[in-house]
Structure 1
Amino acid sequence: MTNAGHRLLWTIVALLLVAGGAAALAAGNGTLPGADPQAALLNAGLLDRWRTATPWSTLAAAVGGVLLALAGHRLLAREVRRPAGSLRGTLSHPGRRPGRTRLATDVLTDALVRDLTANPEVRRARVVLTGEPPRPDVWIRVDLTADAATAGVREHVRAAVRRFAATTDCQPAHLDVTARIEPGQP
């Protein structure tokens, strides 16, 4: 699901919850037309049906609650995972001759991390690839030493990305680099 799809889904869930809460509040305060604030929220017919189906109605409510909780857990777990659209599995390029070249994306990101950390001023690096293989988005985070020369590191990152693009035949559609400098004596 795309980022726009996730935003739309969470907006719909939020609006449904707000609408339900507002309706219950309006009914409880007596501002809902035709609702008595002293009466039960459910009408007498529904309450009678609930009571006649006593063991099964409670079980149905419990099962419904568990299913809603599982759906919420699954939705939340998908949100917490790595960025949507991350390249997983293999990166495949059609060749000039019949056949394809396939590379595991973890191998590509690990190679770019090794290339970035080859500079002694870069302590750690993290790379995430998202989007489609011919023009992926590349997200890089580098942690620099306190005495790192930012101009030199910038050129090192540019050169590493150029080597990555030449090696994989994937020109990044979007490149986002975040640099963090470790605290210490500059």
Structure 2
Amino acid sequence: MTNAGHRLLWTIIALLLVAGGAAALAASLGTLPGVDPASLLLSADLIDRWRMTAPWSTLAAAVAGALFALAGQHLLARELRGPGGTLRGTLSQPGRRPGRTRVAADILTDALVRDLTGNPGVRRARVVLTGAPPHPDVWIQVDLTADAPPAGVREHVHAAVRRFAATTQCQPAHLDVTARIEPGRQ
């Protein structure tokens, strides 16, 4: 889910909780039309039905509570987890004016992977960044198709690394590229 989707989901949950709390407060203060502040919130008929369906009503309430708790735990875990499941740090560069530009390392590696897989000869790519931001170490692994021309793929990888260095203003201190060629079709 995107960041905008998460913000929308949390906004909806917050609005529902605020609306529920406001309705309960209005009912208890007697400002809710059609509700007597001296009356019980749950009618005697509803309480009798609850007691008649026991233990199933209690079991249904426990299952609903457990499902809500699991959904909340899943949502909270997704929020606390960084992009792509792990948080690998950020690239932080000073600007020309006061301030800094910070970009998550996962975004940079994903962009380089997309650039590398733009060549039809590259089936898959994996990128790992380590080290300090001005001169990080870049580890690249590419899986090539059997008919990929090695010289063309080599030039494509070097061009992608040059674009990465120009975009991030980080010249790799160490560049390690591993290419694996998939076996040809029988």
Contact 1:91 1:104 in 2 (8 A): yes
Among 161, 165, 173, the residue aligned to 1:167: 161
Alignment of 1:100 with 2:117, yes or no, is no
Instruction: Note the C-alpha offset of 1:4.
Output: 1.2
* Cα pair distance change 1:168/1:60, threshold 3 Å: farther
Alignment of 1:53 with 2:53, yes or no, is yes
Partner of residue 39, structure 1: 39
Write the deviation string for residues 81-101 of structure 1: whole angstroms up to 9, x where unpaired.
113695689925132xx4215
Q: Distance in 1 between matches of 2:32 and 2:54?
A: 29
Alignment of 1:91 with 2:113, yes or no, is yes
Write the deviation string for residues 8-33 of structure 1: whole angstroms up to 9, x where unpaired.
11100000000001111111111111
Instruction: Note the C-alpha offset of 1:45.
Output: 2.5
Q: Per the alignment, in what secondary structure is the counterpart of residue 94 of structure 1?
A: coil
Contact 2:134 2:169 in 1 (8 A): no
Work out the number of aligned pairs and report it. 128
Partner of residue 69, structure 1: 69
Whichever residue aligns with residue 103 of structure 1, its letter is: A
Give 1:120-135 correspondences, 5 Å limit: none
Alignment of 1:28 with 2:28, yes or no, is yes
Taking structure 2 as the reference length, the TM-score comes to: 0.55
Alpha-carbon RMSD: 3.8
Write the deviation string for residues 27-58 of structure 1: whole angstroms up to 9, x where unpaired.
11111111122222122332221111121111
Partner of residue 78, structure 1: 78
Q: Per the alignment, in what secondary structure is the counterpart of residue 124 of structure 2?
A: strand
Question: Which moved further from structure 2: 49-58 or 86-95?
Answer: 86-95
Q: Per the alignment, in what secondary structure is the counterpart of residue 32 of structure 1?
A: coil
Q: Distance in 2 between matches of 1:76 and 1:172?
A: 37
Question: Which moved further from structure 2: 66-75 or 42-51?
Answer: 42-51
Write the deviation string for residues 60-95 of structure 1: whole angstroms up to 9, x where unpaired.
111111110110000000000113695689925132
Contact 1:91 1:103 in 2 (8 A): yes
Taking structure 1 as the reference length, the TM-score comes to: 0.55
- Unaligned 5+ residue runs, structure 1? 119-124, 126-163, 178-186
- Unaligned 5+ residue runs, structure 2? 86-105, 138-157, 171-186
* Cα pair distance change 1:166/1:100, threshold 3 Å: closer
